[in-house]
Structure 1
């Protein structure tokens, strides 16, 4: 709403208002502004009572009353009328009428003028419009706020010049749609033969490539192309029935350009109103969409509300294998497999093959119908790859069995059921030997055969998994007797020979069993208990099964306590190196000493190496421990008389360290010991594990100048093959053969054979475990080079050994 009053003949009145306000420093008085001052403007004026409440007219001039229009509003209630001097001075048929009762849509703008003028305390003006007979009458009305008697507020309203606007013509010209009014032309028989254009707008003329002047009063038949006259006249004639009709059509205009229009017709008698909407852009988009649809490499089709296929592209017919005419007989549900819903579906092709697809669909208009556009992306290979990846993530690649991840998931689910069930942990016996003697391909073939036999033992029940290496596990819902019977079947099955590379190989298996819920309801706890039982089965000699018992757990806890104490002892260097002499069998002179690790525990006393060395090997502590022993032994031997040597045992675990050769070289350098005085003793396990790599390490150690001895000879699976694989400097006959001398003829034969073999190879032979003079005599007669045992000396600390190595012979046997 404007903030300035109209200037239509009221400039003087407005000037007086501002002057009066300045003089009065408030609203001008009604008497000063109105009485005797309106003159010729009185006819166009009205006075409004603006007191709080509903505003009402006090007086209306003749011209203002005409502007309000015909009819009279109902009088306000008598209680709302006033009899003061203002209402007495002015009269008229509108006197006392409420503004809210003013007709013709003028009530709201008049009330807004009152509200704005009083709120601002200044004259305001706004256009007020009234519509009659399709014509809009717009009048600028000004409002001047005045002070009446007794503090009463009144508003002087002045109606300015009125502008008339033909609304129909304005709308007719403003739209971009073509609009035309036509009338029917009939012959003498009353038949419609043509239509004449009575009126049209610019948009309609532009569509027909003409002007309003040329088209108005012309017959349609003279403006339209001949090919379109008949259909157009027929549709217009049909519309004369009074029904509203609409349709789409296309034709070529006289200048050759195409016109695509949507036509809407409404009839009143023989007069027709025609609306034309140019849909050329829409048709172009539809053509582009159709082109994209038909030539899209993604299979697509359009289906109606009933699901019937309305159109299909070449990609869909080719991908699904249906000829187009057959595809158009389908419905959308004919392709989907039962239960298909959502974007991920499985569809059936014509040849019966099933494909995985991602379905995308949405509504789209099609030839005036509501349709659904469906696009299908074939993701069969992607899904197959995803399934392969998922399978690989949960299954062992070699055997196809569930792996550790899936096994833990199934174990947790089984335990949650709280039904009787068992967990079996399996470990193959001597599997490493198969890998080392026959090669890894044979080992892999063995694992695959083991997996098949385990499946057969389960008979389709339960779960068998490969946890890694030669470790397997079985889950089975059953009571204790059935689980024990299953373990016995597995042991029997896996103890039968396996055919590998044309030869039979026998391995065997050890099994530990834990029961749920008897042994607990924690999956990890059950697995630990089954592992503990497996450990006990191995300790019992393998090829057997053990059921978990609490005592086993106590033994495991004891082992962990031993490990903890061992770590502390190593950190505090609380272990000792003792030495046991090696004696020349003929002269009884000390030729060397074997360094042996001893542990004096503050509470346990002396702990047997047979107890703590395996713990050190299993935990990896043997690497640092072995390095410490080697360095200590080399430093001690450097102070012995020449040529007394020192022998140090190397664990198979030490061979896995990346710098074993460097460790030996540093010990020699830092101690100053002649490398020829250092003997390194290894067991057959070194030859079994990664034999090719370990033999290479042995050659590098030999390159340092040290001597290499093989310990416990005669107890392994292929000891003779070791001598062929590596030229050892010394062979140590196992104490079990020495102890049997004089008691078993076979023992003597073995000892003599080894001594003879050593002599032929130029290798020194040492007999371990000599405890009697009778054993020594037999070994002397057999030609053994060196002997070692309690007969000469137990392992003693370094301080006690020094006098012994300085003597020309073992003192208490000097006369022997």
Structure 2
């Protein structure tokens, strides 16, 4: 780095006039020497001046140049501006670092290039998007203001008046404004000459017909006025859109102030609530609210003018209104939705045939009652009931008579129980009762029930007599776990049946010996599974329109060497309780896939999955292996689950269902509506098929509620894109009713009972199934 003395001795020549020397860095830098041209650029004498005292905002810019030059040890060039009298003087500045022989750090500053001068006020005046104008009053001989002349304006103001700066400058306002706008504008400008600041909004149509919405601000200095124009056309358009959206919105809406008083209301609200606009504006928001026992979130109950109460969901939020703040409220009437939800909820937790609570609701109430008994020590009685010889009624008089009998039994049970306790139908001819009575009152209740059910029932003009067997368990004597109580009451029920039926038995520990037969069945089942001695039969599913076979359901059959065919209802629960169901289910799956692989390509096979199988660690892998081994297209395999799968560990089970879906198989929900059905299951997982339980099919043509439920399920399936299958079709009347309702597929004895694999091969291979050629089917 050259020293200052070397530079001076080297003679700066003409550059000396444009240069200045700065020393004292970094503490208090000052100008040590200033050339004439540099001093002229500064606009004052500079020698000895502290850098921070330089005028026009020079200090920060020069500090940056000096600092960068010293830090880099090399010359630095940058623009540098000095402001004086509203004018910015900008030139290039060169900073050259030097070293003094006596030590210290110096920087030589040099003006580099011509100086540009910029009028800052004019620049701001021209660049702003707001319209700006200076106008002077034009007075007549009496001194009265008769017009205003434009002295200056920017391009934004000229554009707002649809003219140019050159055309508008020096013109009178009356020559530029539309006639309708002249008088109001002159009045406001004249009033502003009194001093102060004024602001207002104005809208008018320009000479070319376009609308103009402006916010005008005026400041007076003697006879001169400074006018600022802001185009608020976009704001006005948004306000108009908001007003249109509010007034013509089909959703009831209103605006209310801080005190709750209604300030504005749309037509939808006046029409829906039945008030005139004047009456509605006389209300406060709270006047519409009706008392509600439970309300959370946006849910409220409102009362209309006629006194009727509606369920609504309320959405509100703050909104600017006429220069202040208001609350915008919108209400959606969900009355019918709530009623539908209540009906669905009732269907989900009540038996469709008898109206009694179903198994899900009963188990929940039992758990609650058992917890209370555990906490308080209060007695709790559980009665499990099973009708004696109910199957004979179904077989001899038909299922309609059996259904009528179950409804009458439900009424008699309600009458015996009164307001105390709870009676439920668990399924089939099984009922259960919760009673707060303990010993010795509980046996008396059971005796009254036995006597009431033992009286003849009138069915289709005939007197029919059945009996009832009752098993009783007590809490806390027999435990306080709901499943344990149910099991012990069920054990006592088996003992009552073994004692000749139409009796009651209280659970005793010795009754466990009666379970030995069940254990024997378990042993035989294990041996049969190990020897693969069970069989898979198939029941066809047919298309509702053509009655052609669309698939077959694989059904497990056990031909016991001594007992003959053992009902699946007897051995499947044993398999589930013992864990055999995993092995058994995998075997059935492999057999069904292997068999279906030989069927025509359009025919699917349906395999039931037990809820217990979902607890196995590799259910998805089991299905994938069965498909791979058989070569069956995954799209031809349907896996049927019961609603119990959705109840038990639903989140985990739904995840497994999604993984099964990823494999490519179809998922169906079986026995829909019989005890656990809830629309929440259809929301939790997109099922491919809904199977309507046979109990609803059997009631078609006899019960309006059954028809309504079947139609509702079919309609629900159609809206969700889910196929519906009706089980238990046994009559042509049922077939016709299901066709009218739009059911997709059917299954039942009308078409075929479950048959062995060899026979089902002939059915699926034939172009026409036997039932398609029956003359009586043509009429259906």
C-alpha separation in 1, matches of 2:194 and 2:413: 88
C-alpha separation in 2, matches of 1:320 and 1:216: 59
Report whether the alignment pairs 1:195 with 2:148.
Answer: yes
Could you say what secondary structure the match of 2:186 adopts? helix
Q: CA 1:36–1:528 in 2, change beyond 3 Å: closer, same or farther? A: same
CA positional deviation for 1:470: 0.9
State how many pairs are aligned: 549
Q: CA 1:252–1:696 in 2, change beyond 3 Å: closer, same or farther? A: closer
2:612 aligns with none
CA deviation vs aligned residue, 1:371-422 (integer Å, no higher than 9, x gap): 4443333333333222222221111111111111112222222222324322
1:634 aligns with none
Report whether the alignment pairs 1:445 with 2:404.
Answer: yes
Which residue of 18, 23, 29 maps to 1:49? 23
C-alpha separation in 1, matches of 2:560 and 2:460: 46
Q: CA 1:71–1:404 in 2, change beyond 3 Å: closer, same or farther? A: farther
Which residue of 110, 133, 141 maps to 2:93? 141
Q: How does 1:274-353 map to 2 (within 5 A)?
A: 274-338=227-291, 342-353=297-308
Q: Contact 1:134 / 1:168 at 8 angstroms: preserved in 2?
A: yes
C-alpha separation in 1, matches of 2:340 and 2:750: 44
Report whether the alignment pairs 1:115 with 2:70.
Answer: no
Which residue of 38, 58, 61 maps to 2:32? 58
Could you say what secondary structure the match of 2:89 adopts? strand
CA positional deviation for 1:292: 3.7
For structure 2, the 5+ residue unaligned runs are 534-558, 573-728, 732-747, 756-780
Q: Contact 1:362 / 1:372 at 8 angstroms: preserved in 2?
A: yes
Could you say what secondary structure the match of 2:440 adopts? helix
Which residue of 355, 372, 376 maps to 1:400? 355
CA positional deviation for 1:569: 6.5
Greater C-alpha Rg: 1
1:265 aligns with 218
| Higher mean C-alpha deviation, range 223-232 or range 538-547 | 223-232
Could you say what secondary structure the match of 1:256 adopts? coil
Could you say what secondary structure the match of 1:149 adopts? coil
Q: CA 1:508–1:279 in 2, change beyond 3 Å: closer, same or farther? A: same
For structure 1, the 5+ residue unaligned runs are 1-26, 73-91, 576-596, 600-608, 622-689, 701-816
Report whether the alignment pairs 1:155 with 2:107.
Answer: yes
Report whether the alignment pairs 1:435 with 2:394.
Answer: yes
C-alpha separation in 2, matches of 1:572 and 1:228: 101
Q: CA 1:174–1:598 in 2, change beyond 3 Å: closer, same or farther? A: closer
Which residue of 190, 206, 225 maps to 2:159? 206
CA deviation vs aligned residue, 1:701-746 (integer Å, no higher than 9, x gap): xxxxxxxxxxxxxxxxxxxxxxxxxxxxxxxxxxxxxxxxxxxxxx
Could you say what secondary structure the match of 1:162 adopts? strand
C-alpha separation in 1, matches of 2:220 and 2:169: 19
2:452 aligns with 493
Report whether the alignment pairs 1:519 with 2:471.
Answer: no
Q: CA 1:615–1:57 in 2, change beyond 3 Å: closer, same or farther? A: same
Q: Contact 1:194 / 1:220 at 8 angstroms: preserved in 2?
A: yes
CA deviation vs aligned residue, 1:287-309 (integer Å, no higher than 9, x gap): 34433433333333344444443
2:722 aligns with none
Q: CA 1:400–1:65 in 2, change beyond 3 Å: closer, same or farther? A: farther
Q: CA 1:454–1:171 in 2, change beyond 3 Å: closer, same or farther? A: same
Q: How does 1:633-648 map to 2 (within 5 A)?
A: none
Could you say what secondary structure the match of 1:291 adopts? helix
Q: Contact 1:415 / 1:521 at 8 angstroms: preserved in 2?
A: yes
1:127 aligns with 79
CA positional deviation for 1:616: 8.4
Q: TM-score, normalised by structure 1?
A: 0.60
CA deviation vs aligned residue, 1:432-454 (integer Å, no higher than 9, x gap): 22222222222212212222222
Report whether the alignment pairs 1:248 with 2:215.
Answer: no
1:661 aligns with none
C-alpha separation in 2, matches of 1:311 and 1:404: 52
Q: How does 1:467-478 map to 2 (within 5 A)?
A: 467-478=426-437
CA positional deviation for 1:571: 7.5
Q: Contact 1:43 / 1:64 at 8 angstroms: preserved in 2?
A: yes
CA deviation vs aligned residue, 1:591-617 (integer Å, no higher than 9, x gap): xxxxxx999xxxxxxxxx8xx899989
Q: Contact 1:514 / 1:529 at 8 angstroms: preserved in 2?
A: yes
Q: How does 1:326-725 map to 2 (within 5 A)?
A: 326-338=279-291, 342-417=297-372, 418=374, 419=376, 420=378, 421-556=380-515, 558-567=516-525, 619-620=570-571
Could you say what secondary structure the match of 2:487 adopts? helix
C-alpha separation in 1, matches of 2:142 and 2:157: 31
